[in-house]
Amino acid sequence: MRLSLLALCAMLLLGSCSKDSDTDANNPAVTQATFSAQIQGRDWLESWEDEEAGSDIKVFRPDTYAFPASWPRNGFRFDSNGVFTGRGPSPTDGIAIYPGLWITEDGRLYRITPSGKSTSYGLQLISLQNDVLKVRRID
């Protein structure tokens, strides 16, 4: 009995530890340095399995994550030269690519302007922990 209680306490203690790659628990916002080092130049795909019902926060993981089989997922990529590439399901069950441009407004809000469109939208980067990126779309 004592051994199982000790094992349970050890698991709870280990579960509360964080890795160095996690953002600060009191300030989970993505910083400009985090954006440049960990987000930019990578393809991110929506992980709707990790999203909370009714929430406006979308969850993304790198395209190297082992997603379960599904229809093509929404995704995006920020490149260093201001090029933004969005992707999503096409009408023919393939993947449609949506090119555009990005600029940052304050290091956390990124204004996306799709090519050939005059209207833009914002992506607010909420947090990045263990390759789980959370964003909110702002119109």
pLDDT digits (tens, 9 = 90+) for 109-134: 999 999 987 789 999 999 999 999 99
Q: What domains can you pick out in the chain, each with its CATH number?
A: 2-138 (2.40.128)
State how far the alpha carbon of 92 is from the alpha carbons of 47, 63, 72, 115, in Å: 22, 21, 11, 22
**What is the number of helices (H) and of strands (E) in the chain?**
2, 8
Q: Which amino acid is it at 40?
A: Q
pLDDT of residue 91: 86
Q: Cα-atom radius of gyration of the chain, to the nearest Å?
A: 18
State how far the alpha carbon of 98 is from the alpha carbons of 85, 86, 106, 118, in Å: 6, 5, 24, 14
